[in-house]
A and B are shown apart, each in its own frame.
Chain A
Amino acid sequence: MLTRLRPIFALFVRSLREQSRARFTPLARGALALLLLFFIAGNEQNFTRYSAPGQQVLILVVMVNFFAIAIFGLSTFASAITEEKEEDTLGLLQMTRLNPLAILLGKSTARLCEGLLLLAVQVPFTMLCITLGGVSLEQVLRCYAILAAFLFFLCNVALLWSVICRRTSRATAMTVLTGFVLYVLPLFMISIAMTSRFRGGSPAGWLESFAQTWIGINPGFDLVKAIEPRGAMPFATDSLTASLGGGVIFFSLAWLLFKPCCNSSGETVSESPKKSPTTAGRHTSRRRPGKRAIAWKDFHFLGGGMRGLLIRTAVYAAMALLFVWWLATIVRSSMRTKDVGVMFWIFGDLCFSVEFGLVSARMFAAERKRKTLGVLCTLPLGTGRIIREKILGALPQLIPSATLAIIGLLMIFGGSNGERWDALEFTPEFIAGLFLAFSGYIFFAVLVMYLSLRMGRAPFATGLCVVIVIWIIIIFTLDGRHSHDDAVAQMLTISVLTWIATLLIAARIPHRIALAAAAD
């Protein structure tokens, strides 16, 4: 019996062994534990302000975990099978005694265990919330159970897409889309249903009940309900059951589809059967490289060139129109240009931030993956010029999302029934806030770029987590009761510190590029 099970767990044991040797795992655990300690220590001052300080700490801890799972889950689990496809090693695995189940378990369960251990390590610290008051042991355990189930679900959704897709980027995108459909779209649907009800109309019954059900299984809402319960609540909440059940379904689908999607002919990502070799080349519409050859290369082959730019623009335009339609459905005649502007601004800004991070992460990660950094560094250009050209080549990718955000801003301040440009007050606080946001963006990009040269996996997610943690610490550290002048001084101080940190990290990037190039 044990002999028969050995191949099933061989890959799992290997992955666990690798993780135990990796420096990242204990560092991440230590960082999480330190973060929680910081929150608890920081919350000590607020004992007098809140009647239930333990509840406040628990909300914070649980929400940090929720977003960390969402971010890390996407970047870690979606590569489970695709990384083997990209390295052409899946065929070798299939040639051994490992069957599809063993490969799926081996490649995903170790990562899942890593995530679960990260959650488990926090539980003793979070128990302190009970002592602080406002929450019970059952509530704490329920929250962690919901988080663990969400992690399990996300792991298996990403695993399914990792089996279906040939590239990690596509698997990640499809997992994001699934998350959007499952967790975000129902929010829009219920808002439409509720608006219709407030107006005395009768929304489609199926729409309302469908949206309500999907919101019920959203772990984010379930976590809030678990911490602030109104009435008795079962331990196995709707989202917990749905996440576990959904996870099993997605894993089963991944298992079923493994053979058809991962056969040897479909495995090799390097071959491109879609394109006829003789019809490409100089006949393509791409312009030839000029003086900035690296920028040309990155624009066309990393960002997708003009076609990629047009597709992005079309997607953002479609999303913008969807928002306008949704807003028109809710507010009808009272819809103002300013409201549409706010929507565009928020959505554009969010997409810009995500694309900004992804572009920064891919800039060097793609070269490292292809092992082309060494050859690139033997060009007589110098590291500084290589970095500048790579940034130049990446910037056009951000044009569509930045344009949407700018249109949103123009609509907010330039709309016919909104505020006018001249109504905008450029107060010192506004300028300091703007400068702080700009500093934060640059810091984030530089950090992610640096991490992509150091880490093999998830530089974007790690960078995002670091920035979120820093912001949380800053918000915790700042006391909101200061005057306007103090607030400006605080924002400027943080901006200066951010720039110092940015410059220190940026100064290390050429050294890391040289190391990565030599390691090729």
Chain B
Amino acid sequence: MDHPPVIDIRNLRHAYKNHVAVADVTFTVERGSIHGFVGPNGAGKTTTLKVLATLLPPQTGTVLAFGKDIVRERNDVRQKIGYMPDHFSMYRQMTVFEYLDFFGAAYGMNQAQRDKTIGDVLALTDMAGRKDDFVQGLSRGMQQRVSLARVLVHDPDLLLLDEPASGLDPRARIELMEILQELKRLGKTIFISSHILSELAELCDSVTILDRGSVKYTGTMRGLIVGEKSGDAFALTLAAEHPPLVPALSALPGITRVQQPVNGEARYTVEFDPAALTPNAILQAALASGASITAFQEDVKHLNQAFMDLTEPGVRT
């Protein structure tokens, strides 16, 4: 049986007085995926996340989570989501255990359930050894882990994480990403807003790019970095320009386009039909033409480049 998308946002619009934060936003997130949500500052990411977290009602449009309307069936949706805001919102006089115990009880779990789940989430976030520590005495990275543990304590199916890696050192960031991968393996759907594009590229299955309140791209991560091409594309980098290469490659069956080097860089882009031709055959033809090849790789954009191409420069006014 097909499941509905975990998140289904259609024509969402939200304005603060005269400032339109999000305008006509539409995208979906599939079950069990890690979905990146990126955009420049002021693009409307946090507003969208707050709508999803049921903190802001959508002014127009519909927002469904697990097929349920987030306004009409708010409490059902809240039971299934875990929201981590972009700032620390913690009761700092509590110990780590008390903090998680409080949220577990608030979600209606009995003591036995809480004991088991808290043990599990503390082990997952590697905080079991600090459970009796006061929250206020923890480092930023540890507080972030406790926040994540809090989000997981009632075993939600969907995690809404707003900039979870901001302010963390490289090790803490990498460890956080590993925890998120583990959570994906456990079947959770993760909706993550972040500015750290390189990490998102490795982590996410799909991505939505938001700029000035509008969706610029939504789809698979591969679709974003490979781009809208008729077939596959490979880049061939030579030690120096080699004019006989273009006719040699163009003669191959299945080649759709060979792009000449620009700006003096000896980098040729070869587009082809993967059903008719293999990359191996292209490489052999290039070597046969006498070219001195230094690199041969799939022609993909970095997420940074895709982000820059899709978003507008400057600050939103």
- Decide if B101 touches A301 in the complex (CB within 8 Å): no
- Decide if A380 touches B79 in the complex (CB within 8 Å): yes
- Decide if A275 touches B134 in the complex (CB within 8 Å): yes
Question: Which residues on B sit within 8 Å (CB–CB) of A380?
Answer: 75-76, 78-79, 107-108
Would you give the 0/1 interface string for A270-306, flagging 1 where the beta carbon is closer than 8 Å to chain B?
1110010111111110101111011011000100000
Question: Which residues on B sit within 8 Å (CB–CB) of A27?
Answer: none
- Decide if A297 touches B92 in the complex (CB within 8 Å): no
User: B81 an interface residue at 8 Å Cβ cutoff?
Assistant: yes
Would you give the 0/1 interface string for B67-93, flagging 1 where the beta carbon is closer than 8 Å to chain A?
000000001101101010101111111
Would you give the 0/1 interface string for A509-520, flagging 1 where the beta carbon is closer than 8 Å to chain B?
000001001101
- Decide if A281 touches B133 in the complex (CB within 8 Å): yes
Residue of A nearest to B53 (CB): A378
- Decide if A286 touches B98 in the complex (CB within 8 Å): yes
**Closest Cβ of chain A: how far from B132's Cβ, in Å?**
3
Question: Which residues on A sit within 8 Å (CB–CB) of B102?
Answer: 289, 293, 296-297
- Decide if B89 touches A370 in the complex (CB within 8 Å): yes
Question: Which residues on B sit within 8 Å (CB–CB) of A301?
Answer: 91, 93-94
User: B105 an interface residue at 8 Å Cβ cutoff?
Assistant: yes
Would you give the 0/1 interface string for A175-195, flagging 1 where the beta carbon is closer than 8 Å to chain B?
000000000000000000000
- Decide if B105 touches A293 in the complex (CB within 8 Å): yes
Contact of A374 with B89 at beta-carbon distance under 8 Å, contacts A271-B137, A280-B132 already known: yes
Question: Which residues on A sit within 8 Å (CB–CB) of B78?
Answer: 378-380
Residue of B nearest to A294 (CB): B106
- For the residues of B in contact with A, the DSSP-based class is mixed
Contact of A278 with B55 at beta-carbon distance under 8 Å, contacts A286-B98, A370-B92, A378-B78 already known: no
- Decide if A277 touches B83 in the complex (CB within 8 Å): no
Contact of A290 with B137 at beta-carbon distance under 8 Å, contacts A370-B90, A372-B91, A380-B75 already known: no
**Closest Cβ of chain B: how far from A283's Cβ, in Å?**
7
User: B96 an interface residue at 8 Å Cβ cutoff?
Assistant: yes
- Decide if A282 touches B106 in the complex (CB within 8 Å): no
Contact of A290 with B133 at beta-carbon distance under 8 Å, contacts A370-B89, A372-B89, A375-B85 already known: no
**Closest Cβ of chain B: how far from A458's Cβ, in Å?**
24
Question: Which residues on B sit within 8 Å (CB–CB) of A297?
Answer: 91, 102
Residue of B nearest to A277 (CB): B133
Question: Which residues on A sit within 8 Å (CB–CB) of B166?
Answer: none
**Closest Cβ of chain A: how far from B19's Cβ, in Å?**
14
| CB within 8 Å of A: which B36-69 residues | 50, 53-56
User: B256 an interface residue at 8 Å Cβ cutoff?
Assistant: no
| CB within 8 Å of B: which A193-227 residues | none
User: In whole angstroms, how far apart are the Cα atoms of A272 and B94 in the complex?
Assistant: 12
Contact of A288 among B76, B101, B103 (CB under 8 A): B101
Contact of B83 among A280, A371, A375, A514 (CB under 8 A): A375
- Decide if A280 touches B92 in the complex (CB within 8 Å): no
**Closest Cβ of chain B: how far from A413's Cβ, in Å?**
42
Question: Which residues on A sit within 8 Å (CB–CB) of B98?
Answer: 281, 284, 286
- Decide if A280 touches B106 in the complex (CB within 8 Å): no
Residue of A nearest to B87 (CB): A371
- Decide if B107 touches A379 in the complex (CB within 8 Å): yes
User: In whole angstroms, how far apart are the Cα atoms of A481 and B83 in the complex?
Assistant: 62
Contact of A374 with B55 at beta-carbon distance under 8 Å, contacts A271-B137, A518-B50 already known: yes
Chain A CB within 10 Å — which of B75, B87, B102, B111 has the most? Answer: B102
User: In whole angstroms, how far apart are the Cα atoms of A291 and B55 in the complex?
Assistant: 23
Question: Which residues on A sit within 8 Å (CB–CB) of B76?
Answer: 380
Taking A379-B103, A518-B56 as known contacts, 4 extra A-B pairs with beta carbons closer than 8 A to each other, sorted by chain A number, are A275-B134, A275-B137, A281-B131, A370-B90
